[in-house]
Structure 1
């Protein structure tokens, strides 16, 4: 049986980064695919390379995206995502416009952290282009700005899930998902805490809490437009994500080569009746705007 992993990482070899050596070795990623019994992997640069603090990120982002495309050029099984600097909406639009005719199969960006709210109208040109192209945008947590999380690795264990949920909430309450239905939004780590929060979001909408505006679709409906990977490390959490997002919105994701990932993403979902669909069809649908 074949399949596609939609959440792996590679990077161009640039100085100054203390990251696993495997990030610079696409052949090792291909070997992982062989071991896992998968055909292809969608690859993105990892969070240390986001560099959202840069005052002018244009040159860095171009180097990053061109470097990643060059890194995987000789490896047709590895499908690159272009990185967009979501801390600068105008630059994100400009970079996506540049990347539209490049080899990227979609784009990615930092969820929460230093990113501008995804409900900000300055992102509307980007959403319009992604909607027109039917392209995927993968949202991956970068860094939490909360210094209280520095201890106990909580910046990852608690901060990342919170930042991801923040980005998803901005898409829901900003009515982005319903207004731009052609966009394929993929949220990693099984949607983080979103599946646990959607009932509260729906109640806030139903009771017209302050600041919540009328939406094209209520939160519990809009959220089913979002894809999530299977990386929950807990079968019960995967089951809950299935109920919230739908069996057609779960895809494989390993977070290779990081320690918080898995070498067997299919093992996260093999207990499900929809396991074969998750392994193959859902991933292809998420990349529908691209000819693979």
Structure 2
């Protein structure tokens, strides 16, 4: 597999560039958006100089869809075209807008976040081509942060439905390549519950939420109706870091992402555990992004606090670390040792392959990383496809 070629920038197109609060920047892998989900272990992984040299030569790779069973990617992002038009039409009064500049689109999805995106973010043929380059058979599509929580409730409901209906249409047209994770207007819980029911009838196989809703974390009691509905409909709740705690002190070096995202995910998960929320909703399936962030590493410290601090035992009867085997996690850890720790802590049945495609913080070769952990071929197969197919009921389970 020619990984430098797969990671090289698509000629003539910068696929994505994100500028967050404090002007933090995200770009696709190697400043392009291609990579490989699978591949042979032990091959050279290109560094920035390799990629720069390849681009300077105008290099590209002939990409063939890899043989074997297709991997399932549970963590990717997409902006349907109709949703972008609705955002352009309705969001301007609230700081959200879309502009065309030089053949690229700039999307202000809130007053604080702007994304420069290329076709792989909103054009289905371009996405399918990129998936084939990455070796991805089926991809779960979801909205990028900051979700829609910035909008007034009525606008949030309308935009959520527009987004979800577009994903549903894409999935009906390509049922073997895409599955939809519904976005929700969680600033209006009743509206969110109604949208969950509608989206489930339309074929969505999960819901996608931020770790907090305008500062209210997911253990807040007002979200209980959502969890009841999701459990009843057998829809897993995928969580993604959002409005990270302490982000005002992470204004440089992309720390808001590299440090803030893992910490925010761990904080949200710890609150779900320690508050007893998971015990009150035992049938609820929760999926944590980015390998659960720092949660697997700090679980033992949480256990110690549970033993020595009475308040840590008020709402739960088991050690906090035991709950990691009740949660689900994607594989996006960016480190072999970190991924091995996650799998050892949560168990291989609770880990799902994810990439974060098409952003620069994506993992371009997750199957290769799985193989390097020394897992059996059965475990690699489970994590790369079977666990997700079971959780998302992709094989005909009612």
TM-score by length of 2: 0.68
Q: CA deviation at 1:239?
A: 0.6
Q: CA deviation at 1:168?
A: 0.7
* Matched ranges for 1:106-185 at <5 A: 106-112=206-212, 114-144=214-244, 146-185=247-286
Q: CA deviation at 1:289?
A: 8.2
Q: Which runs of 4+ in 1 moved over 6 A?
A: none
Q: CA deviation at 1:96?
A: 1.4
Q: 2:164 aligns with which of 51, 57, 65?
A: 65
Aligned: 1:264 with 2:365 = yes
Aligned: 1:75 with 2:174 = yes
| Alpha carbons of structure 1 residues 256 and 55: separation in structure 2 relative to 1, 3 Å | same
Q: CA deviation at 1:67?
A: 2.9
| Alpha carbons of structure 1 residues 194 and 211: separation in structure 2 relative to 1, 3 Å | closer
Aligned: 1:245 with 2:346 = yes
| Alpha carbons of structure 1 residues 208 and 221: separation in structure 2 relative to 1, 3 Å | same
Aligned: 1:99 with 2:199 = yes
**CA offset digits 1:69-100 (Å, max 9, x no partner):** 23444222110100123444333323213322
Maintained 8 Å contact 1:4/1:280: yes
**CA offset digits 1:40-74 (Å, max 9, x no partner):** 111111114x1322232222222222233234442
CA distance in 2, matches of 1:210, 1:239: 31
2:3 is aligned to none
Name the larger-Rg structure: 2
SS in structure 2 of the partner of residue 82 of structure 1: strand
Q: CA deviation at 1:242?
A: 0.9
Maintained 8 Å contact 2:186/2:213: no
RMSD over aligned Cα, in angstroms?
Answer: 2.2
Aligned: 1:234 with 2:335 = yes
Maintained 8 Å contact 1:86/1:116: no
**CA offset digits 1:105-151 (Å, max 9, x no partner):** 11110113625222222222211122222221110112326312222
Structure 1 window deviating more from structure 2 (139-148 vs 249-258): it is: 139-148
CA distance in 1, matches of 2:148, 2:224: 23
CA distance in 1, matches of 2:368, 2:298: 26
SS in structure 2 of the partner of residue 242 of structure 1: helix
Structure 1 window deviating more from structure 2 (189-198 vs 34-43): it is: 34-43
2:190 is aligned to 90
Aligned: 1:39 with 2:107 = no
| Alpha carbons of structure 1 residues 114 and 211: separation in structure 2 relative to 1, 3 Å | farther
CA distance in 2, matches of 1:208, 1:289: 43
Q: 2:151 aligns with which of 45, 50, 54?
A: 54
Q: 1:255 aligns with which of 342, 351, 356?
A: 356
Q: CA deviation at 1:161?
A: 1.3
Q: CA deviation at 1:266?
A: 1.1
CA distance in 2, matches of 1:264, 1:117: 32
Maintained 8 Å contact 2:73/2:354: yes
CA distance in 1, matches of 2:204, 2:242: 20
Q: CA deviation at 1:211?
A: 6.1
Q: CA deviation at 1:4?
A: 0.9
TM-score by length of 1: 0.90
Structure 1 window deviating more from structure 2 (93-102 vs 65-74): it is: 65-74
Between the two proteins, the alignment pairs up a number of residues equal to: 291
Q: CA deviation at 1:29?
A: 2.7
Ranges in structure 1 where 5+ consecutive residues have no aligned partner: none
1:207 is aligned to 308
1:9 is aligned to 77
2:294 is aligned to 193
